[in-house]
A and B are shown apart, each in its own frame.
Chain A
Amino acid sequence: MTRLYLSNDTSARAAGADRLAQAWAHVPDVELVRTSSRGAFFLEPLVERDRPGGRMAWPNAKPEDLPNILAWVGGTPVDDIPFLADQRRATFENFGITRPLSLEEYQRRGGLKGLERAVSLAPDAIVQELKRSQLRGRGGAAFPVWTKWQVAKDQAAEQKYVVANADEGDAGTYCDRMIMEGEPFRLIEGMLICAKAIGATRGYIYCRQEYPAAAQTLREALTIAERAGLLAVEGIPVHLDVFLGAGSYVCGEETALLESLEGRRGVVRAKPPYPALSGLYEKPTIVSNVLTFATVPSILARGGAWHASLGTDQSRGTMTLQVGGRVKQPGLVEIPFGATLAEVIERFGGGMAPGARFKAVQVGGPLGSLFPASGLDIPICYDAFARAGAILGHGGIVVYDDATDMLDLARHFMAFTADESCGKCTPCRIGSVRGREILEQLQAGRGRSGDLDLLADLSETMKAASLCALGQRAPYPVLTAIEHFPGEFRKN
Chain B
Amino acid sequence: MSKPALAVLLTRHPRKPPNILQTLLEVQASLGFVPADALPEIARSLDVTEADVAGVLSYYPDLRTARTGRHLIRVCLGESCMANHGAKVLDRLRAHLKIEVGETTRDGRVTLERTYCVGTCPVGPSLVVDGDVIGRVRPDQIPALLEEYQ
Contact = CB atoms under 8 A, between A and B. Distances in A.
B62 A247 contact: yes
A361 to B, nearest CB: 9
Interface string B117-141: 1111111101010010111100000
Contact of A396 (B25, B79, B134): B79
B7 interface: no
A281 B16 CA distance: 11
A399 B131 CA distance: 27
A211 B133 CA distance: 10
A263 B117 contact: no
Interface stretch (B65-73, B82-90, B91-99, B142-150): B82-90
A330 B116 contact: no
Interface residues of B, number: 43
B31 interface: no
A141 to B, nearest CB: 19
Nearest to A422: B59
A41 interface: yes
B25 A244 contact: yes
Contacts of B110: none
Interface string A417-440: 001101000000000000000000
A11 B135 contact: yes
Interface string A249-270: 1000000000010111110000
A325 B79 contact: yes
Contacts, number: 148
A289 B68 CA distance: 33
Contacts of A369: none
A274 interface: no
Contact of A246 (B21, B122, B126, B131): B21
Contact of B117 (A169, A248, A331): A169
Contact of A263 (B22, B126, B128): B22
Contacts of A325: 79-80, 83-84
Interface stretch (A50-58, A157-165, A171-179): A171-179
Contacts of B83: 324-326, 398-401, 404
A218 B18 CA distance: 24
A249 B120 CA distance: 17
Contact of A11 (B18, B81, B123, B128): B123
Given A246-B60, A365-B79, A398-B83, A324 B21 contact: no
A10 interface: yes
Interface of A: 10-11, 13-16, 41-42, 44, 168-174, 177, 209-212, 243-249, 260, 262-266, 281, 322, 324-326, 330-332, 362, 365-366, 396, 398-401, 403-404, 409, 412, 416, 419-420, 422
Interface of B: 17-25, 52, 55-56, 59-63, 77-85, 115-124, 126, 128, 131, 133-136
